[in-house]
Every structure is written in C-alpha cells, then in structure tokens.
C-alpha cells in the first residue's frame, strides 16, 4: 500500500507488487479523470470504475488496460450502453439507451448495431431484424402501435425490395419498395393446382 505522484501530475494510491501497480488502487490522471479498481502489473485488469472529466462513467471489466468483458458506460449526455465490450468497443450483446428514450437491444460489432437486434421508439414503433452500420438492413419487421407493420427487405434504413404490409385493420398485402418509396402492390402468386404438363 502506498502513494505515487508522477511528473505529469497524475497520482496513484493503492497496492503495489515489486514497485508496480498491482492489486487494488486509484489512479487520478493529470486531467482529473480517475480509475479505481483492480490492477495487474501496471495495467487496469479486473473490475474497475473509470470516471472521465466530462462526467461520463464506465463500470465493468478491464483486461490488459482495455474495457473488455461485461460493463456499463454512461455518457454525460444521458445515454448509456450495458453489455459486452472488447478492446474498448461495444462488441457482442448489449443494450443501448438514448437520452430521448429510444433503445436498441441486440448484437454489436465494433460500436455498430447489428447484425441482429430490436430497436424501440418512444412513440411505440418497434423494429426487429437485421442491421448494418447502425441502420435497418436486410430482413426485418417494423411495427406501429396502431397495428400496422411491414415485414420484408431493407437497405440502409429504408424499405427496399419486397415486403408484406399489414394495415391497422389486419389486411395484408405484398408490396414492392425502392429506397423507401412505395412502388406497387404485388398480386398474390397463382395457386398451384398440382397438375403438371409433360
């Protein structure tokens, strides 16, 4: 147990082993940010709490100095992410909550939503399906609180391709879309009678 002050003004108070930060300790950076938690031979490793000077806070697992494992990051703007981290990135499974009430729960790849998850809006809309680069992309279903829904293909956040549109009264129709614009209703495919011509 001891204290150490560095040339740049940063400080460490906690446990040491062989003159290295090791065990439990608190590090105060020269800019005022802090890390309090477990250390392993000079680097944050284990459970810790990092408080940034802007008011953002991370609490969770560290590995070799990086946020890695389970954790929760809360931004000073009010948004938060709770879930898996890897090398400081949101990566794996987790939930992101925006300060305006929106939420996304699902898979993450290097700070991007996707490839699969559920997005909910405060007005009652809900999208469940595939994402790419943080946008609805691939196959998915968007539902409205009045019962309407669209299930089908998406491209860069917009309806694109073929999908099934359901009205508030429960009527469903196949529809064609292009970059978010409705093109036409599609006829139902003809029924197969089972007869084959040779």
Exposed, middle or buried by CB within 10 Å (0-12, 13-18, 19+), for 50?
buried
**Looking at the predicted structure, is the pLDDT value of residue 192 above 60?**
no
Asked if the peptide bond before residue 191 counts as cis, ω within 30 degrees of 0, the response is: no
CATH number for the segment(s) 1-99: 2.20.110.10
Q: What is the pLDDT of residue 193?
A: 52
- Give the pLDDT band of residue 188 (cuts 50, 70, 90): low
Q: What is the pLDDT of residue 198?
A: 46
Q: CB of 116 within 8 A of CB of 107?
A: yes
Predicted confidence (pLDDT) per residue in 23-68, tens digit:
999 999 999 999 999 999 999 999 999 999 999 999 999 999 999 9
Q: What is the pLDDT of residue 191?
A: 53
Beta strand 112-120 with 89-97: parallel, antiparallel or unpaired? unpaired
Query: What average pLDDT does the segment 16-27 reach?
Result: 95
Q: CB of 42 within 8 A of CB of 62?
A: no
**Looking at the predicted structure, is the pLDDT value of residue 77 above 60?**
yes
Beta strand 158-166 with 172-178: parallel, antiparallel or unpaired? antiparallel
Predicted confidence (pLDDT) per residue in 107-165, tens digit:
999 999 999 999 999 999 999 999 998 899 999 999 999 999 999 999 999 999 999 99
**Looking at the predicted structure, is the pLDDT value of residue 22 above 50?**
yes
| Domain limits, the chain | 1-99, 116-188
Instruction: Please give the Cα distance from 170 to 147 (Å, whole number).
Output: 7
């Amino acid at each position: 147990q001891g204290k150490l002050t560095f040339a740049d003004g940063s400080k460490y108070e906690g446990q040491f082993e062989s003159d290295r930060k090791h065990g439990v300790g608190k590090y105060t950076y020269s800019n005022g940010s802090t890390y309090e938690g477990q250390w392993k031979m000079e680097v944050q490793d284990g459970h810790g709490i990092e408080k940034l000077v802007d008011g953002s806070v991370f609490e969770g697992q560290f590995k070799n100095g990086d946020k890695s494992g389970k954790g929760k990051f809360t931004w000073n703007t009010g948004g938060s992410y709770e879930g898996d981290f890897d090398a400081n990135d949101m990566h794996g499974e987790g939930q992101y909550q925006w300060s305006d009430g929106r939420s996304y729960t699902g898979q993450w790849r290097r700070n991007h939503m996707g490839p699969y998850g559920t997005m909910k809006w405060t007005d009652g809309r809900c999208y469940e399906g595939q994402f790419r680069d943080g946008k609805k992309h691939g196959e998915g279903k968007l539902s409205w609180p009045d019962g309407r829904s669209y299930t089908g293909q998406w491209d860069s956040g917009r309806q694109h391709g073929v999908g099934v549109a359901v009205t508030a009264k429960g009527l469903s129709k196949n529809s064609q879309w292009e970059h978010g614009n409705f093109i036409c209703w599609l006829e139902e495919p003809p029924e197969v009678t089972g007869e084959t011509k040779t």
